[in-house]
Amino acid sequence: MMLGKFLTIDGFQMPNPVPGTFNDDPNPVENVFHTESGRRMTNIVRLNRYSFSCTFNCTSMMKERILNFCMKPSVNITVNGVSHKGTLRTNGSSALVENSEYCRGTNGLWVVPVVFEEE
């Protein structure tokens, strides 16, 4: 999936995620309760809540930009022309690519996993 021209965060054009890591899925929001007899009761609050996870290979400057987006209470994300408002968070820790600290013009190349959940 080539998302480079289709994925923006707060109007900023994002690079392509690592191939094979962009997973989007509309998830329902549900409250699950159990009765005294052990029966499961589900209250569906909202259907098709949009979320995705992906991983970016990026420079140290792009890593800082992504981490700044993750610290905001909410962001506007556009995927393939459809806008969504929600939270962007890191999904694990960022990893420095081996020996990339020697690349000129950057403090290394990074692997940054993120997850987005629509409000």
Lowest mean pLDDT among 30-44, 47-61, 77-91: 30-44
Q: 76 vs 48, 84, 88, 104, CA distance in Å? A: 18, 6, 9, 32
pLDDT at 4 over 60: no
Model confidence pTM above 0.95:
no
Confidence (pLDDT) at 24:
85
Element of type H or E holding 69: helix 60-71
What are residue 5's phi and psi, to 5 degrees? -95, 5
What are residue 6's phi and psi, to 5 degrees? -115, -10
The Cα–Cα gap between 59 and 54 comes to 16
